[in-house]
Amino acid sequence: MPKYIIERDIPGAGKLTPTELQGIAQKSCCILHEMGPSIQWLHSYVTGDKVYCIYIADSEQAIRDHAEKGGFPANRIEQITSIIDPTTGD
């Protein structure tokens, strides 16, 4: 399945407490469970005013459906075409 990066504009995201982040994660996981195996959340990066999420999904629409059901913004969704890291240069 394709891998995607989702940019979510969430003002103050970097100031969310561990308890608030846990609640968001629980809500997301509950919706993912309901949606079935067509979508999987790998991990997210929280910054000052944005959250960047990495998902595996059978389509961009599945990601949009998850965001709508959870009330999460999905301001930008891009399919990941390649992954590079320091070892790529070796």
The answer to whether residue 88 sits within a structural domain is no
- Please calculate the CA angle 59-44-83 and round it to the nearest 5 degrees: 65
The answer to whether residue 49 sits within a structural domain is yes
Q: Which of 11, 5, 28, 25 is nearest to 76 (CA)?
A: 5
Q: Any idea what the CATH number is for the domain that residue 46 is in?
A: 3.30.70.3090
What distance in Å separates the CA atoms of residue 21 and residue 3, rounded to the nearest whole number?
23
Band of pLDDT at residue 87, cut at 50, 70 and 90: very high
**Residues pairing with 79 in the sheet:** 4
Structure tokens at 78: 């891009």
Identify the pLDDT of residue 32: 97
The answer to whether residue 43 sits within a structural domain is yes
Domain carrying residue 70: 3-83
Considering the chain, what percentage of its residues have pLDDT values greater than 90? Answer: 98
Number of domains in the chain: 1
The model's pLDDT over 30-68, given as tens digits with 9 standing for 90+, comes to 999 999 999 999 999 999 999 999 999 999 999 999 999
